[in-house]
Amino acid sequence: MALAPEQACPISPVVDIVFSRWTTPILWSLHYYGRQRFVELERGIASITPKVLTQRLRQLERDGLVVRTYHAEIPPRVEYEISDLGRTLAPLFAHLSEWATTHLGEVEEARGAYDGPR
């Protein structure tokens, strides 16, 4: 009998939540720069479309990783910040950054060897 992915690999749900295409840059930006408005996030994350940024922010808010604050002013203002739950991912990102610094060269070498002449 085949196991469901989350049973075969208990980190699968975490990977699905945290490592989707735009989640990591959004969370990193909010963690590093603090509270930001939509347009600040959009400018800071190259090539993300407003539609995709909106979708990802909604999903991150739904997952409890981002807090959205609406300010009833004229004009209205909305700010996003990483939640306390989102901040708990900082050590994970630090470990991944360390791994990348140490091993991405090896990955590139392996890719070159694999993709090389055949």
Rounded distance between C-alpha atoms, residue 70 and residue 15, angstroms: 29
Q: DSSP alpha helices (H): ranges in 45-89? A: 50-62, 84-87
Q: Delineate the domains of the chain, giving CATH numbers in brackets.
A: 11-87 (1.10.10.10)
In tens digits, the chain (118 residues) has pLDDT values of 676 766 778 888 888 888 888 999 999 999 999 999 999 999 999 899 999 999 999 999 999 999 999 999 998 899 999 999 999 998 988 898 899 999 999 999 999 999 987 6
Candidates 59, 64, 69; CA nearest to 86 is: 64
